[in-house]
Structure 1
């Protein structure tokens, strides 16, 4: 789980980042909204902890951007305001939860754990997902492009499903190999993965025209990227 902690107060950022890391989460800290948005354009987080008062952008503007691009990403908003109208504004703008400052560490971890459990249950119930020109039906293990079925081999489908369930996130090459071929894999499997990635690109015509690209990040992994219309 990758959490983006967007907090303008350095001491708070260090403190909360340490708490979340200690709870087993990967944490990327950003001191302002602009840096956080640049990072989110590259890699989507699994969850965001967002301060309402940032030094450069109103936290609600950052929240609005997240909701436009990553509608299902959970967001916990931190606020110093005790007024009910400020809390209501955050929730109506799309925050999944909020916490008053100073943040109680145990409560923050408990709230995030609850959001993660809820998100995972929702994902497990999801039968299909659409992005760009594509729809992946997880129940039927079927892929549609512009409404037409695409013939994929079992391994091609499994790789695509892994990437589709993590659109916008960089999937490490080793993680793909482990999930598709198991913990024990060799150079043959590594070359086979390269071949499967090449075939997926061709069969699905991945690129600007389809609205989705399959990006290879050299020596790191793969990421499905949706282009903004």
Structure 2
């Protein structure tokens, strides 16, 4: 039921804020709309929405800063970043600050809704392995959506968790960026830099030395391969 999905929309353009909020409400979501970055920061100190839809350019406190705060306080909260320009640099910046997904303005409201639904499904664990498993130093608990390395839990965003889980379920297999976009993001097409940014962020969390990865390896011209053999 969508009535139990709480969406926080932070957007300073009053037209966009109204249109997005009304559209989602008509489809059964519980929606809170905020137009100021500072007010959103105060709300996020206590609120834990199921999805945060966040404009990058906000008065008071930027969307990038809010995204960083969310990642510190509530790393599992899915974040969709709204960008003004359909430029690779804009999207990479948003992803670097911890966003799980992005949309460039103008965007289709139906597409936004589909992305909200997809993130909620993943965050609530409706498409996960039914049992825990171990691969090398990695221990996966799909029920709690937690992954640890050598006994230490890794703080992962929703998308980072899905990416690492997919890699752990396919050890030794070379996965192209298109493979990862399709299986992890559910996209039949998309910007490959999205995967590149998330791989870099993931390496910073699981690799002893991210510049010289032991687990998440690059296969030049082909994609990525996850292995624990080199770490033995």
TM-score (norm 2): 0.52
1:46 matched to 2:50? The reply is yes
The residue aligned with 1:91 is 95
Partners of 1:69 and 1:5 lie apart in 2 by 18
CA distance in 2, matches of 1:31, 1:52: 12
What residue in structure 2 maps to residue 56 of structure 1? Answer: 60
Q: Does 1:126 align with 2:143?
A: yes
Q: Deviations over 1:47-82 (max 9, x none)?
A: 100001112222101100010101000000000122
For the residues of structure 2 that align with 1:123 and 1:62, how far apart are their CA atoms?
28
TM-score by length of 1: 0.53
Change (3 A) 1:122 1:68: farther
| SS of alignment partner, residue 28 of structure 1 | strand
Higher helix fraction (1 or 2): 1
Q: Which SS does the other structure have where 1:24 is aligned? A: coil
Q: Post-superposition shift, 1:123? A: 9.5
Structure of larger gyration radius: 1
Alignment partner for residue 103 of structure 1, among 99, 104, 107? 107
| Secondary structure class of the residue paired with 1:114 | helix
Question: Number of residue pairs matched?
Answer: 129
Q: Which runs of 5+ in 2 are unaligned?
A: 129-141, 147-232
Partner residue, 1:68: 72
Q: Superposition pairs for residues 186-197 of structure 1, below 5 Å?
A: none
Q: Please report the RMSD computed on the Cα atoms of aligned residues, expressed in angstroms.
A: 1.8
| 8 Å CA contact retained: 2:9, 2:21 | yes
Matches of 1:40 and 1:123, distance apart in 2: 27
1:13 paired with 2:13, answer no
Write the mapping of 1:211-226 to structure 2, written as runs, cut at 5 A.
Answer: none
Runs of 4+ in 1 over 3 A off after TM superposition: none
Q: For 2:29, which of 10, 21, 25 is the aligned residue? A: 25
Q: Secondary structure at the match of 2:124?
A: helix
Deviates more, 1:25-34 or 1:36-45: 36-45
Distance 1:110 1:128, change over 3 A: closer
Distance 1:45 1:59 in 2: 16
Identify the residue that residue 156 of structure 1 maps to in structure 2.
none
> Hey, what's the Cα distance between the residues in 2 that align with 1:94 and 1:41?
17
Could you tell me how far apart the structure 2 residues matched to 1:101 and 1:123 are?
30
